Amino acid sequence: MRLVLLGAPGSGKGTQATRLREHLQVPHISTGELLRAAVAAGTSLGLQAKAVMAAGNLVSDAIVLGMLEERLTQPDTRNGFILDGYPRNLAQANALDALLTKIDQPMDIAVQLDVDQDLLVDRLAGRAKAEGRADDSPEAVRNRLKVYEEQTAPVVDFYRNQGKLAHLDGVGSLDEVFNRILEAISPHADVG
C-alpha cells in the first residue's frame, strides 16, 4: 500500500508512521529525517538545508524532490511505502503525482491527522524539551506552524479532489489514533 500522512508539525505523523511500518511491513519515508541525516552527515545537500530547516522554512522543492526520487526508486518500496513530511506545498504534490505516475505506483490514500493548533503548540513544546531539535525553538515552531497553514494545508484539498483523502481526528491516545488510521486504510490494505 502507498500511503501519505498529512498533518501539521506535532500532529503525530512520525509516531504513527513508525507503528504503521511495523503493521504494513513497508518502509517509512520521512523527508524531514532524510534531511536531518544529510545535515548530520555534512553532505553538500545537508549544508544547503541546515539553516533553512533551523528557521522552520521549507527546503527548496528541487532538493527535496531529488532526494525523494532517489529513495522511492529503491527496491524496498516495491510493495508500498508510508510517506511523511512530503508533499508540503502544491508544487510538491504535483511533482509527486508525476513521479508516481512515471514509476507506475500511484498513491492509494492520503491520511490527514487533524489536531487543534493549541494542542500542537503544547506537544511541540514538550518534544522540544525531550529531543532538543534545532527547529524546536519557540520562533521556529511558530514559523513551522505558519508555513504549514499557508503552504501545506492546500495539499489536503489536492488529495480530497482526487477522492483519496481520509480526514481523521488526530486527538486521542496513540492506540486510538492508530486504530482510526487502520480503519481508514483497511479498504486499501493487502496486509493486516
Q: Which residues are catalytic?
A: 13, 88, 127, 133, 144
CA distance 137 to 165: 32
Tell me which amino acid residue 38 is.
Answer: A
Closest approach, Cβ 186 to ligand ADP, in A, equals 26
CA distance 75 to 92: 22
Return the SS3 of 29. Answer: strand
61 or 108, CB closer to ligand ADP?
61
Q: Which three cell numbers stand for residue 94?
A: 504535483
Closest approach, Cβ 178 to ligand ADP, in A, equals 18
9 or 170, CB closer to ligand ADP?
9
Check: CB of residue 21 under 8 Å from CB of residue 101.
no
Check: CB of residue 46 under 8 Å from CB of residue 40.
yes
Binding site for ligand ADP (CB under 6 A): 9, 30-32, 35, 52-53, 56-59, 64, 85-86, 88, 92, 135, 144
Closest approach, Cβ 34 to ligand ADP, in A, equals 8
